[in-house]
Chains A and B, each alone.
Chain A
């Protein structure tokens, strides 16, 4: 694949320039980044011949010569924030075109036990050290650079991102909101946002990550989020991706769970031109519980791919997975749900479900469970459905006076609400429900909950 090699070569030049210009990372991180670049160069961008990328063709990402966005203060970021800020959060940290925007963030009066810092700020400490050993022990330690070229690429190139820490015993009532806004209109810009969440034992908290943008030119977001869920602690994470029709989004969420921890992941993807989400959790301690909850709704020519992996590494863990897709137009979707039950992971209890609603004859979904079970005393079930709106249910609604269009929307909302309803922070649910309505029809105005 010479053309792919060439594609990765240009990244070397970029990397060297970055090293010269911004040599402000601590030595340990510098080493990791160099290794990541080598991994990326070795692997190159995946092609559809790679099993995990069979249905998602990233050649348009591979063939584009991406550059860093120009940072310019503009009103677009403020209006994006207006639209996507969620009320009532504990803290808000905002990045515009990849870089921390303190003037748009709200980081004062944080609740006790919560730390939220911008990676770039953190490195500008006079000592050159990052604030807290937790960063060194966790940053770039969980998302494996050897398995996914995009993770390697992010690790080599990330410039900024949110670092969030919950001290042991902290009980965070409202979530932290991280917003990655794309507002620049430069052509072919790429950002590599990096998020790290670390929670101490017996703590509890929520994180919302929004990837949103309004850009005229094609742009590329390559995100990685690492979440280390401490012993007996509980993390709820919502990744909300809602980018422009010409945007490319590739992102990995990698969680690692300690003993008796709970991780609740939501991925809501309204898509881009192409969006690929890898959502992985390692149940690395006994008695850990994990729920992966997801919704994607795409139309037109959009393509959205969720690859999830639940790695049951220890006994007595349970996982639940609920993914739903709504596809209209000529859009395409992929759901691939891997569950690995390792030899020692006896008494694993895993349930996976993926349901898809095809609203047009041209929409396509590829759904596949991928179970690898090496322990013998386990319960693993999975099921997938692909269907249209239930015509009998539609008739029932119409026979009560509800018009065809409204009845269709009602059933779509009900289908999606199964997923949205699992999000515990009400203002986030409300926001998502409104967005769903907005996407269905501009004429629909009822904002009542179903």
Chain B
């Protein structure tokens, strides 16, 4: 579904991604871990098409087609969803309006009839229950005045409604207490299926107890330096990221 080869990306004249490789297939859940500043959000934003990041080298294939040339809205319509680390507040636009516009844009692209307000409401009621979202939230402006936890929950709620083929979650666990974490994980696990892929970006292992990944990768200083299964996450949790430094140093010395 997603093939990233030797991806280099920069922003404000600074190289952030320095040759990332990653392959994600249908049905898989991948976790990307790594210390703060290693480039995890940059990778996520590049996948969503943020214009501040310039891809200088490498390629991204999504469903076999070049992704880099697609506008952000076309990526979303093709099934890519990014749950933002810092979701935007949009005063004056209700959640209801926003999410229905998003859904209808995607449906239109897929040749499925658009939903009117009534049909939309009955569709989202179900998902609200799963994610413990108050219906009153739907008439509030997008993320305006939401707590950090509410914003994260709202991202996953959007994801549940839009049902993407490839979901990328950037630090969705930060700012969530353990109950909220469980609710969010339930929402994500409900989406797991044979035709979907999920990339979970986090620098804590905690979330991975609830959303169990098939693969774990470590992004470090703009490169994937290690891959493994869920045991790798536990190891990172125990040892922290410091040992990576040493190991990498050694590799360089004796290579």
CB of A120, distance to nearest CB on chain B (Å): 43
Judging by beta carbons under 8 Å apart, are A415 and B72 in contact? Answer: no
Q: Answer whether residue A347 sits at the interface, using C-beta atoms and an 8 A cutoff.
A: no
26 residue pairs from A and B, CB less than 8 Å apart: A392-B88, A393-B90, A395-B50, A395-B51, A395-B72, A395-B88, A396-B84, A397-B102, A398-B71, A398-B73, A399-B48, A399-B49, A399-B72, A400-B98, A400-B102, A400-B158, A400-B162, A401-B76, A403-B105, A406-B101, A410-B93, A411-B90, A413-B93, A418-B92, A448-B117, A450-B94
B188 within 8 A of A: no
- Residue with the highest number of chain B CB atoms closer than 10 Å, among A396, A401, A406, A407: A401
Nearest chain-B residue to A410 (Cβ)?
Answer: B93
> What is the CB-to-nearest-CB distance from A410 to chain B, in angstroms, rounded to a whole number?
6
Q: Is A414 an interface position by the 8 A CB rule?
A: yes
**CB-CB < 8 A to A414: which residues of B?**
90-93, 141
Query: Smallest CB–CB gap between A446 and chain B, Å?
Result: 8
* In the complex, A426 has a CB within 8 A of chain B: no
Complex: A415 Cα to B103 Cα, angstroms:
23
In the bound complex, residues from chain B placing their C-beta under 8 Å from that of A418 are: 91-92
B60 at the interface (CB under 8 A from A): no
Interface residues of A in 411-449 (CB under 8 A from B): 411, 413-415, 417-418, 421, 446, 448-449
- For the side of the interface on B, what is the size category? 20 to 34
Interface membership of A73, Cβ < 8 A: no
B7 at the interface (CB under 8 A from A): no
- Give complex CA distance A396, B88 in Å: 7
**Please, how many angstroms separate the alpha-carbon atoms of A396 and B97 in the complex?**
14
B77 touches A404 (CB 8 A): no
Check B109 for interface membership: any CB of A closer than 8 A: yes
Asked whether B82 is an interface residue with its Cβ less than 8 Å from the other chain, the reply is yes
Q: A398's contact among B76, B84, B141, B158, by CB below 8 Å, is which?
A: B76
Bound state CA distance, A450 and B71, in angstroms? 25
Establish whether residues B92 and A450, one from each chain, have CB atoms under 8 Å apart when the complex forms. yes
User: Out of B88, B94, B105, which one reaches A401, CB within 8 Å?
Assistant: B105
Complexed CA–CA distance, A402 and B94 (Å): 15
Q: In the complex, what distance in Å separates the CA atom of A406 from the CA atom of B103?
A: 14
B92 CB contacts on chain A under 8 angstroms: 413-415, 417-418, 421, 450
Cβ-based interface call for B106 (8 A): yes
Which residue in chain A gives the minimum CB-CB distance to B97? A450
A346 to B50, CA, bound (A): 52
Does B145 lie at the interface of the complex (its beta carbon under 8 Å from any beta carbon of A)? Answer: no
Q: Closest A residue to B75 by CB, please name it.
A: A399
Which residues of chain A have C-beta atoms less than 8 A from B75's C-beta? Answer: 399
A397:B50 contact, CB within 8 angstroms: no
Of all chain A residues, which has the CB nearest B103? A401
Flag if A448 contacts B97 (CB, 8 Å): yes
Complex interface: chain B residues within 8 A of A446 (CB): 101
Evaluate contact between A404 and B91: CB separation under 8 angstroms.
no
Cβ-defined partner of B102 (8 Å) among A395, A401, A448: A401
**How many angstroms between the C-alpha atoms of A397 and B71 in the bound complex?**
12
User: In the complex, what distance in Å separates the CA atom of A450 from the CA atom of B90?
Assistant: 11
- A317–chain B nearest beta-carbon distance, Å: 28
Kindly identify, within residues 106 to 129 of chain B, every residue whose CB is under 8 Å from any CB belonging to chain A: 106, 109, 117
Minimum CB distance partner of B77 in chain A = A401
Closest chain B CB from A112 CB (angstroms): 37
- Interface contact A399-B97, CB-CB below 8 Å: no
Contact B76 A399 (CB under 8 A): yes
Question: Given known contacts A395-B88, A401-B103, what 19 new A-B pairs fall within 8 Å (CB)?
Answer: A391-B51, A396-B84, A397-B90, A397-B98, A399-B48, A399-B49, A399-B76, A400-B99, A401-B73, A402-B105, A403-B73, A403-B105, A413-B93, A414-B91, A414-B92, A417-B92, A446-B101, A450-B92, A450-B94
The reply to whether A396 and B87 form a contact with Cβ atoms under 8 Å apart is: yes
Complexed CA–CA distance, A393 and B102 (Å): 14
A295-324 vs B, CB cutoff 8 Å, 1 = contact: the mask equals: 000000000000000000000000000000
CB atoms of B73 and A410 under 8 A apart = no
CB neighbours (8 Å) of A395 from chain B are: 48, 50-51, 72, 88
How distant is the Cα of A390 from the Cα of B117 in the complex, in angstroms? 27
B136 → chain A, closest Cβ, in Å?
16
| CB-based nearest A residue for B100 | A448
Residues of B with C-beta under 8 A to A411: 90, 93
| A residues less than 8 Å from B94 (CB atoms) | 450
Cβ-defined contact, B71 with A393, below 8 A: no
Which chain A residue lies CB-closest to B105?
A401
Assembled-state Cα–Cα distance A403/B92 (Å): 18
Chain B residues, CB < 8 A from A400: 76, 98-99, 101-102, 105, 158, 162
Closest 8 CB pairs of A and B: A414-B92, A401-B76, A400-B102, A401-B105, A396-B88, A398-B72, A398-B73, A401-B106
